[in-house]
Every structure is written in structure tokens, then in C-alpha cells.
Structure 1
Amino acid sequence: MQGEFMSSRSAFPIPRCQSIVLGLAGFLALLGSHSSAAESTDTTEKPNVIVIFTDDQGYNDLGCYGSPNIKTPNLDRLASEGRRYTSFYSACSVCSPSRAALLTGCYPKRVGLHQHVLFPQSTYGLHPDEVTIADHLKSAGYATACVGKWHLGHHKETLPTSNGFDSYYGIPYSNDMNHPDNKRLGKMSSDDRWTDQSSAVTLWNTPLVQDEEIIELPVDQRTVTRRYTDRAIEFVEANQDKPFFLYLPHSMPHIPLYVPEDVYDPDPQNAYKCVIEHIDTEVGRLVQTVRDLGLSEKTLIVYTSDNGPWLQFKNHGGSAGPLRAGKGTTFEGGQRVPCIMWAPGRIPAGTSSNAFATNMDLLPTIASFTGVALENDRKIDGIDLTSTFTSDESARDEFVFYSAHGVLEGIRMGDWKYLRQVARRGPNAKGPKPEPKVFLFDLSQDIGEKNNLVEQQPERVQKMHARMEELNEEITANARPVWRKKVNS
């Protein structure tokens, strides 16, 4: 039997050859074909947008953010030619909710994607009725492409091609997840995996997808960062004469860590450093393409991370530097992330801003930057940040924190941050519920969250708790549904 077959447990058709070579139709789609309606739109003066989104990269993991040992000359140059944000937050401390927030401009709870991450066996995902950055710009005639890790649903109805992107090339969930049921193929320590780079194709069964089709199973994670960049560059070159939106969510430095042979450092103590420096090189290739094509003056590039570092993996995880804790927590290390914005002629070079901002704010910021007005039929939580391109004043004054599992945990109001954390309990837990841990920090003086001011500021605690609950009530009351797979009766 020739051609493709549909796995009974898969949302994707899988070619028997499992070839990495794209079909002609997929390749043409990757090069950014438009609908006839989009082509009729006058887009000659509209700027391009590139959003580069890394996975589990800590606040301290770039040279321009103070890393003592990771060398990132290309990203440092991007910062020196643009603006470095030092008080920028992901909307959650884990993957799927953070990605939902970036693309929709909403708290993850508002779009129903707040309860941790999706898995290969998940039967829900981002609803195609939601308006993403890609939907918004595509409606104005932009070519749109997603290249990299999606993690907002692997079913056809939830993939990038159903959420505003003309084309998709990447992995549908985290690179430590396995098609079709997330069954582990084997176990090795992180150091042993790094030492044996062939484990990239023996321990993991993560699929590489083009549009809605698996084209490589397992994906060779040693080369995937470079291949993402190759595809991104092809897309930019093909669309240099029209406006484009490129969303490039890298799979790494989420574990397991792999790199191409020509940049491999065999010392596992240098694994994380090696991966970040490889990403830096690949970002440099993409940015140089923008320069070489003469697109610098009409392109906005945003570089940020989906959450803080996965500290438990030590030399395979990053660093939050001066911040407290990391991924999976609502402390600063879990959600305050690096963010660089670059737009020559619009953003002054060599500047930094401590303006309070979040990845939810990128949708309205991009809408403002491109001059494509947002429609008002769906409530969002993002705020236009273009005023912060030239000012240190915050456009935002409050932000609600939800745990990695979607539990309301805190709020930041101005420079003050209030947290009320309750330990998670298993379904069979016995005994009394633990008392919540309550914190109050003045981030203007204490970004390391070392000095708990709860006892000294009871009135502030009460006020912030009430406002936190008020905002959460509104979000909960107006939350929209996720897409769910219909169960056959």
C-alpha cells in the first residue's frame, strides 16, 4: 500500500517513508502564499514582525542580561541596537498557558488554557475562534508562518494552520514528549543523554510536522534548531516584498538538550551553555538576513522566553540570576524573563526599560506598531507597549499571577507584589490542608523577593488580595471555551 496512512491513535497522517523532504504544496505554503482577499489589500508600507520565543530560558541566560559564562554576541548586538526590558513577564510559568497568552493577548484562563500543559494524549487545545496575532495580521494581508514548537494542541483544529498561520513547520508539543501516547522509550540521565547525542533519535519519539502532516518521526533534535532557522530564512526571503509575520518558538533550551555535531561540546557541564550559544548563532543568521535584504528599517523583532529556567536540571537548565526560584513558580524567577525589542528608527539603540510589561501585551503592541487596528469584539488583557519604546514609564499597572496549574496565586500592582500560595495536594492526601504562605514584596527594592513585608503592611495586603480576587472573578466570568475533540457516540 502506497502513500499515507492514518494512525488510529494519531491526529496526524504519517508517511511511510517518514521523509524530511517537503512536498511541493507544503513548500509553497511555507513560502507564504496568501488568500486572494489578503492579496487585494494594500500592504506596501506595513512593517514586518518577527517574534522569537525560546523555551525555559532564564532571566540571566544572555550576556546582555548578565550571564557570567554564556556568550551571546548576536543577541547582545540586537540589544545594543534596540531596547532591553528588565521587568517583562510571561503570563505563566509553564509552556502552554504562556504561549496562549502571547498569541491571544489574554490571560490563559480567559481562553481556557490555564491548567498546566498539553500532552500528546490531550483532547483539547486553542480554539480556532480565538483571534491570534497571526489571525489579526493575516486579515490585513500579511504572510504568516509558525516555525518551531507550538504546544497549543496537536489536533488539526488546534494547529497553527487553523489559527491564522499560512504554514507550519515544527514540533506540536515539548521535545520530551512522545507520539502518540507519550510513552517513554527509555531512560538515561541528562548527562548521559548529552554524552550520547544519538539518544536524540533513540529515546524520543517527538514528531516534526509540516502544516498538518508528520514528515519526520522522530525528529532529529540535534539539527532541529538550525532547521527552524533555515525555514525561517526561506520564509523571510520569499516574502521580502510584502509584509510578513514570523513566529519562531524554539524547542530549546527545554530538555532534552541537543545540538549539531559541528557545535557540540562533549562536556555535559557545558550542555546548557552550548545550546544557548547555538540559539544565539541561529538568531544571528536570521537577523543578518533581515539586514542583508534591506528590511531593518521596516521590521520589529521581539526576543523573549516562555517562562523561567528549569532549575532542577542544574547544568541542563538555566539561571534566573538575582531572581527567586524558576519555572513552575509565581516567584520572579518563574515568570520574569528576558525581552529584547529591535526596530531601527522606531526603538532607540542601546537602551533599556524597567517598564512593567508582559507577553500578553505583544498583540496590542504589534497591532499599534503595524497600524492594523484591533477589532473590539473579543476582550483581551494586553496593553499597547509602544509608549515604552522611548519611555521608562509603565503602560501596565497590575498583573495577576496564576500557578502552573491555573490556581490564583497573586498580583503585582505597581512595584508591589502579593502572593498567596497553597501547596498542591494529591487526590489521596490526608490530614488538614496546609496553611497558605503569604508574601508581600517591594520589587523596586527587592527583585530577589527576600524581604517579606506582610507583617509591616497589613492594609496593603488586604487591598491587594481584594483586587486580585476582583480581577480573577471578571476573568472567570468571561472565560471563553477551549476547543475539545468530539467523542464519537
Structure 2
Amino acid sequence: MQRSALTRHLVQKHAINLVALIFLIPSVTDIYAAPKPNVIVIYADDLGYGDLACFGHPTIKTPALDQMAAEGMKFTQFYSAAPVCTPSRAALLTGRYPIRSGMCSDKRRVLFPDSGGGIPANEVTLAEALKTAGYKTACVGKWHLGHLPQFLPTSNGFDSYFGIPYSNDMDRSANHKLGRKIFLKPEVKFWNIPLMRDTEVVEQPADQTTITKRYTEEAIKLIQQNKRQPFFIYLAHSMPHVPLFRSPEFQDKSRRGLYGDVIEEIDWSVGQVLDELKTQGLEQNTIVWFCSDNGPWLIFNEQGGSAGLLRDGKGSTWEGGMREPTIAWWPGHIPSGSVSQELGSTMDIYTTSINLAGGTVPTDRVVDGVDLTSVLLNEENSPREEMVYYRGTKLMALRKGPWKAHFITKPAYGREPFQEHDPPVLYHLEHDPSEKYNVAQDHPDVIKELKMAAEQHQKTVKPVPSQLEIPLPN
């Protein structure tokens, strides 16, 4: 029987993996015996694949992130598990596709101030898993997994919280007749967004002109306070989600305008965190991840980012909506200046971090995250072979190896209907990352395999109520 192109690719990949494993097991074993590494996840909001200098932007300067990449590993094929905020954050913190936790919907894409739902209590968050392993845990920044007390970070494994409970464009107080015009010259008073410490509102409206700076100061304080014990910090920036704000020091600093100013302040923030780790002598015992929740919000034109050569942006299951600029940094462990073209996902941050901490990945449920330790430490092939692309509860596409089949397509925003494809639209993403050339008619064997993979995945999904459709109690 003749093997398909996809099967040949995977057989060759795993033959290489097996040889590598035989010779490189000692280094992986050594790392598990080492002191528990601190974990920091820095998560941007609506950052595009092409928005960083180290990912190709020509006029936004990101020296700290460039250095982070030079000292660590850059991932070129790393994905969020959803193209919008709430489900992507649920996936990051649970290691599971949001369809499994009810943190997605076809009616309401994200949680709002009038939502009554949030992350279910039976989900095991990354903070809960690391706390059980002896870590101090802190959440700084945007949460967006439920704003009622039972859904806040301090009810889901985090010892402390400082940030906003949902997106910075919610709780709008400006005249709605102005539409998107208020984003052209945003003012703090246009949004009544609350800034919280633990469960209390400490400022409303939050002064968004200083919010990136204050998140950074909070993260540095947490590093200083917890330097003698293992810690986990989830630093989730509110930016560059519109409305765009930056500190006075970054006003008109970038050639890319307001959006560039915002990205350059985030870059400064990353530099402050990495510098503090070095000052405290913690750099070789701290793994730092940098990523984004979804792609750029293209409908905001110059106030939205760029997906580079990738197609479409936030809200879509084309590559620009879900492939994210990702860097992992761990001096002395991750090879400096390495670039991984292997498949990875934000869900893998969950599994990898728990395993590095000596914790326990839940075994009583499906966990979609895989362990990327061997990729990070030894530049091996990734154990991730597939990526499933959801828009709400709809399985839109599936990637396996280099191949991606779209079963349903729809642009990110607009009135165009969902379009079902039979046969599916097929792209070879390593040859055609821009998804321009449909090669379905040339590879019926690959189409068959990807259809089967989608069917097998769907058999593992058990329906649960949508948390995004629960109204706020009276």
C-alpha cells in the first residue's frame, strides 16, 4: 500500500525523534531533577504575527523582545486555541480547547460586563496546578474569564490579582452614536473600566494611559517578593487591544504611530521583567513565555496590527487569526538564538509548565496541551502533530503536519455567510503560509486523512453548557 504524503512526513519525523530521544534523554532527565523553575507568561492582546521587529516589522522597534529571542527560542508555527479573547485565555490556562469547558459560543464571542458565566470551578487552571506544586501565583492584567467573584483569579488558583476583569473597550460611557470614531482620539473617561486588586475595585475608570507601566511595576514587585520560592506570574497586557493608550514617555516615540508607541511600551515592559530577573539572579531558574491571545484586529485599520504574510486576523480561523509571535526564554537551558519551526500551541504552555514544575497534569479529563520540553531544551521535533481551529463551537479547520484543511470558512468580520467546503480547501502551510493556493485536487489522500482526524477529534468532545450565554443574575 502506498503511503500518503502526510503519512510519510510523520513517519520520517518520528524516526528522527526516536534517535534523538535515545541520545538526549539525560539532559531532559537532568532538568526535571533541577530546582523548580519559576514560570512567567507574558500575554499580549490582539498582537499580530508581524508586529515585532524580530518577526519582520520594518518600523516598530522591539529591542527587548529581539534580545529575548536572541537569548531564547523563537517559534514560527505557534498557535492560540481560538481567534478571540475569552476562549483563547481559557485554553491557555486550562490546556484544553474551549469547546471542552464551555468557554466559547456562536452567539456571544466573548464575555461581557452583563455576562453571568465564567471559567467553571471544575477546570484545573495552570495557577491551581502550580499552586499544588508549591508555587506562589499571581495574575496581573486582563482576565476576561468572568468578572463575578467566583470566576475571578483569586477564586481560580491565583494568590493575588491586579488588573481589569474584561476588555478595555467595555463599560463604554461615551456616546454610542459616535461608533468607532471614539477610538481615533481615545480618552480615559470614554470607558468606565474597573481596575481591581484581588476582589476590590481600586480605580474606575482605570487610567489606561499608565496601565502598562503599572502592570510592569506590579510584576517586578512580585518577582522581588517571591524570589526565594518558586512563583508563577501571569502578566496579561490590556494592549494593543483598542482603545490604544500609552504612557507619556512613549508618546510619538514610534515611526508606526500610536499603535507602534503601544507595542514599544510593551517591549519596554518585557525588558524590565527580564532585567529584574537578571538583577535578582533568577534568569537561569525562570522560564518566560511571550505570546498573544489572537491575531490583529484588522477592522481598526492603523490602530490594528499586522499579521505579516499570514491571511486575515482576529476573529478568523485563517492563519492570521490564530498563529502568534511566540518566544520562550530560559538562559542556560534553552539554546540561545534558536528558531523552532515545530508546531506548538498556548495549550502546550500549560502542560510543559506543570511538568517542569514537577506538578501533575490532570488525568481525569482530556488535556490537549502537549509537553514541549524536548523542543525547548534539545530543539527536537514537537510531539504536537495536529491543531484544530474553532470559531465558537464550529470546527472550521484542522492542521496535521504541514497540511491544513478548511471545512468551513468565513472572514473575520462582515456579513458574509459561513461557507462549507466539500471537498475541503487544502493548503500546504510550509510552502504557502499565506493560504493562497488551494491544492485539494492534487492530494485526495491528505484530504481523507484530515477528515478522519477531525472526526476522531470530535469523538472526544462532550457537549457542555456555554458559559458565555449565561445572563447576569438579577
114, 117, 120: which one pairs with 1:124?
A: 117
Check the 8 A contact 1:191/1:268 in 2, yes or no: no
Secondary structure of the corresponding residue to residue 354 of structure 1: strand
- Specify the alignment match of 1:35 in structure 2: none
Specify whether residues 448 and 174 from structure 1 end up closer, same or farther in structure 2 by C-alpha distance, changes over 3 A only.
Answer: same
Check the 8 A contact 2:250/2:264 in 1, yes or no: no
Check the 8 A contact 2:154/2:198 in 1, yes or no: yes
Q: Which amino acid aligns with 1:454?
A: A
Q: State the alpha-carbon separation in 2 of the partners of residues 447 and 269 from structure 1.
A: 25
- Counting only pairs closer than 5 Å after superposition, residues 377-456 of structure 1 correspond to structure 2 as 377-389=364-376, 390-403=378-391, 405-421=392-408, 423=410, 436=421, 438-456=424-442
Secondary structure of the corresponding residue to residue 394 of structure 1: coil
Task: State whether structure 2 residue 267 is matched by structure 1 residue 280.
Answer: yes
Secondary structure of the corresponding residue to residue 420 of structure 1: strand
Give the TM-score normalised by the residue count of structure 2. Answer: 0.86
Check the 8 A contact 1:440/1:454 in 2, yes or no: yes
Check the 8 A contact 1:128/1:483 in 2, yes or no: no
Specify whether residues 407 and 134 from structure 1 end up closer, same or farther in structure 2 by C-alpha distance, changes over 3 A only.
Answer: same
Check the 8 A contact 2:59/2:256 in 1, yes or no: no
426, 444, 451: which one pairs with 1:458?
A: 444
Specify whether residues 444 and 213 from structure 1 end up closer, same or farther in structure 2 by C-alpha distance, changes over 3 A only.
Answer: same
- Specify the alignment match of 2:459 in structure 1: 473
Specify whether residues 414 and 434 from structure 1 end up closer, same or farther in structure 2 by C-alpha distance, changes over 3 A only.
Answer: closer
Q: Which amino acid aligns with 1:164?
A: G
Specify whether residues 188 and 455 from structure 1 end up closer, same or farther in structure 2 by C-alpha distance, changes over 3 A only.
Answer: same
Q: Which amino acid aligns with 1:249?
A: A
Task: State whether structure 2 residue 66 is matched by structure 1 residue 76.
Answer: yes
Q: State the alpha-carbon separation in 1 of the partners of residues 419 and 182 from structure 2.
A: 38
Indicate the percent of aligned positions where both proteins have the same amino acid.
45
Segments of 5+ residues of structure 1 without an aligned counterpart are 1-42
Secondary structure of the corresponding residue to residue 114 of structure 1: coil
Q: State the alpha-carbon separation in 2 of the partners of residues 134 and 450 from structure 1.
A: 40
Segments of 5+ residues of structure 2 without an aligned counterpart are 1-32
Residues 425-473 of structure 1 show CA distances to partners (whole Å, capped at 9, x for unaligned) of x9xx9xx986548410111211111110122223322331232132123
The offset of 1:266, in angstroms, is 8.8
The offset of 1:140, in angstroms, is 1.7
Q: Which amino acid aligns with 2:39?
A: V
Q: State the alpha-carbon separation in 1 of the partners of residues 40 and 418 from structure 2.
A: 46
- Specify the alignment match of 2:76 in structure 1: 86
Specify whether residues 149 and 410 from structure 1 end up closer, same or farther in structure 2 by C-alpha distance, changes over 3 A only.
Answer: same
Q: State the alpha-carbon separation in 1 of the partners of residues 189 and 473 from structure 2.
A: 35
The offset of 1:303, in angstroms, is 0.3
Specify whether residues 420 and 292 from structure 1 end up closer, same or farther in structure 2 by C-alpha distance, changes over 3 A only.
Answer: same
283, 290, 296: which one pairs with 2:277?
A: 290
- Specify the alignment match of 2:41 in structure 1: 51
Task: State whether structure 2 residue 174 is matched by structure 1 residue 174.
Answer: no
- Counting only pairs closer than 5 Å after superposition, residues 331-346 of structure 1 correspond to structure 2 as 331-346=318-333
- Specify the alignment match of 2:214 in structure 1: 227
Q: State the alpha-carbon separation in 1 of the partners of residues 221 and 81 from structure 2.
A: 31
Structure in which a larger fraction of residues adopt helix: 2
Q: State the alpha-carbon separation in 1 of the partners of residues 61 and 473 from structure 2.
A: 53
Check the 8 A contact 2:312/2:318 in 1, yes or no: yes
Secondary structure of the corresponding residue to residue 124 of structure 1: coil
Specify whether residues 316 and 260 from structure 1 end up closer, same or farther in structure 2 by C-alpha distance, changes over 3 A only.
Answer: same
Q: State the alpha-carbon separation in 1 of the partners of residues 325 and 255 from structure 2.
A: 25
- Counting only pairs closer than 5 Å after superposition, residues 355-366 of structure 1 correspond to structure 2 as 355-366=342-353
- Specify the alignment match of 1:97 in structure 2: 87
- Specify the alignment match of 2:20 in structure 1: none
Residues 166-222 of structure 1 show CA distances to partners (whole Å, capped at 9, x for unaligned) of 0111011111001xxx5654565768745x4xx432211111111111111110111
Residues 309-343 of structure 1 show CA distances to partners (whole Å, capped at 9, x for unaligned) of 11111211111111111111111111110110001
The offset of 1:372, in angstroms, is 2.1
Q: State the alpha-carbon separation in 1 of the partners of residues 143 and 209 from structure 2.
A: 19
135, 151, 158: which one pairs with 1:165?
A: 158
Check the 8 A contact 2:59/2:254 in 1, yes or no: no
The offset of 1:399, in angstroms, is 1.6
320, 327, 334: which one pairs with 2:307?
A: 320
Q: Which amino acid aligns with 2:98?
A: P
- Specify the alignment match of 2:27 in structure 1: none
Q: State the alpha-carbon separation in 1 of the partners of residues 72 and 418 from structure 2.
A: 49
Residues 45-102 of structure 1 show CA distances to partners (whole Å, capped at 9, x for unaligned) of 3211100000010111111111111100001101100000000000011001100000
Q: State the alpha-carbon separation in 2 of the partners of residues 126 and 111 from structure 1.
A: 8
Check the 8 A contact 2:96/2:369 in 1, yes or no: yes
Task: State whether structure 2 residue 191 is matched by structure 1 residue 204.
Answer: yes
Q: State the alpha-carbon separation in 2 of the partners of residues 436 and 374 from structure 1.
A: 37
Secondary structure of the corresponding residue to residue 475 of structure 1: coil
The offset of 1:400, in angstroms, is 1.1
Q: State the alpha-carbon separation in 2 of the partners of residues 486 and 154 from structure 1.
A: 12
- Specify the alignment match of 2:244 in structure 1: 257
- Specify the alignment match of 2:24 in structure 1: none
Specify whether residues 341 and 266 from structure 1 end up closer, same or farther in structure 2 by C-alpha distance, changes over 3 A only.
Answer: closer
Secondary structure of the corresponding residue to residue 452 of structure 2: helix
- Specify the alignment match of 1:63 in structure 2: 53
The offset of 1:378, in angstroms, is 3.0
Q: Which amino acid aligns with 2:188?
A: V
Check the 8 A contact 1:44/1:242 in 2, yes or no: no
Secondary structure of the corresponding residue to residue 431 of structure 2: coil
Specify whether residues 420 and 435 from structure 1 end up closer, same or farther in structure 2 by C-alpha distance, changes over 3 A only.
Answer: closer
Specify whether residues 434 and 298 from structure 1 end up closer, same or farther in structure 2 by C-alpha distance, changes over 3 A only.
Answer: closer
Check the 8 A contact 1:58/1:318 in 2, yes or no: yes
140, 147, 150: which one pairs with 1:147?
A: 140
